[in-house]
Amino acid sequence: MPPTRTTSSVQLGDAVLVAVSDQLIRYDLDDWTPLDAHAIGYSVHDHTFVDGSLYYVGLDEVLGVGLPPTVGGLDSGAASLWSYTFPNDDLPTEAHSIAVVDGTLMMAWPNGETGTVCRFTLAGAELGCEATSVSPSFIEAGPDDTVFMVSYDALDDQHWSLAAMDAELNPIWSVAAEDLGPKNPRQFARKLLVTEYGVVVVGEAQPEPGAAGTFQGQIWIFDPADGELTRHWEPDELSGFMATDVVDSGAGTIAVVASPDDPNDPIVLAKLALD
């Protein structure tokens, strides 16, 4: 049975590597043909590819919820380079995200109205953790050693915001979803991507629980310099889907990996033009 839910995706040349549970499945970017798959023993929450190595954060696939996360690196054949499991058993077990900023690996997670970022060298040495002024659920590296973070209201993850910070996590700007104009009352942000066209945030609008309706994928694009919203649209290709991640597919396009409203349907890839 094809996978129906995905958590993270990363571009690898002419392919996209999609995390589905403890599997890393490589798909062709042109026709969505599965090329190969690797099981790594962890349920991957987020992963990124840098200088020929893959870095990830996940949970033990067998033992799962209630355990601290593991951060690690894999070579091009998915063999382990290093791994680090947090010793503190009260760390949150959801919404971890990673990015490589200023040559170091950042792992971030929300904690109420603020959050925490832990840093590692690309060889796996722990560099320490620090608090953030926002509650980061998803992070992405930007130009000039900046980092962009999607954050959620501590009590309501529909009320999300996007923030830009420097490599030392000093705020540059932030924008709240409720300031973006009229929107579906149940609108969620999932992941983000920094492109030459701006900071692309993907997610979906959902019907109220028990109400008729379906998911509708959403895309927002922000100016990386000041956070101005430059475009928001609901592509027909994402009707009935939640946009779970996005990769750069070249030539002014993005490829959105999307999970279906119906859990029995497979995940899809939608390629969309940015200009």
Where do the structural domains in the chain lie, given as residue ranges?
Answer: 1-91
Q: According to the model, what pLDDT value does residue 3 have?
A: 67
Q: According to the model, what pLDDT value does residue 4 have?
A: 59
**Cα–Cα distance, 180 to 222 (Å, whole number):** 11
pLDDT tens, N- to C-terminus, the chain (275 residues)? 566 567 788 888 889 999 887 888 999 988 889 999 988 878 888 999 898 899 999 887 665 556 778 899 998 888 899 999 888 766 665 658 999 998 999 999 887 778 889 999 999 999 999 888 888 889 999 998 999 999 876 666 678 899 999 999 999 999 988 887 656 668 888 899 999 999 999 988 888 788 878 889 999 999 999 999 999 999 999 999 989 899 998 888 999 999 888 878 888 889 999 87
Assigned token pair, 188: 């969620």
**Cα–Cα distance, 97 to 110 (Å, whole number):** 10
Q: Do residues 255 and 18 make contact, with C-beta atoms less than 8 angstroms apart?
A: no
Burial tier of 147 (Cβ tally within 10 Å: 0-12, 13-18, 19+): buried
Q: Using the 8-state DSSP alphabet, how is residue 182 labeled?
A: S
**Cα–Cα distance, 200 to 222 (Å, whole number):** 7
Q: According to the model, what pLDDT value does residue 155 have?
A: 60
Q: According to the model, what pLDDT value does residue 63 have?
A: 59
Q: Do residues 80 and 74 make contact, with C-beta atoms less than 8 angstroms apart?
A: yes
CATH number attached to the domain at 1-91: 2.40.10.480
CA angle 7, 265, 259 (to 5 degrees): 25
**Cα–Cα distance, 188 to 218 (Å, whole number):** 9
Q: Do residues 96 and 105 make contact, with C-beta atoms less than 8 angstroms apart?
A: no
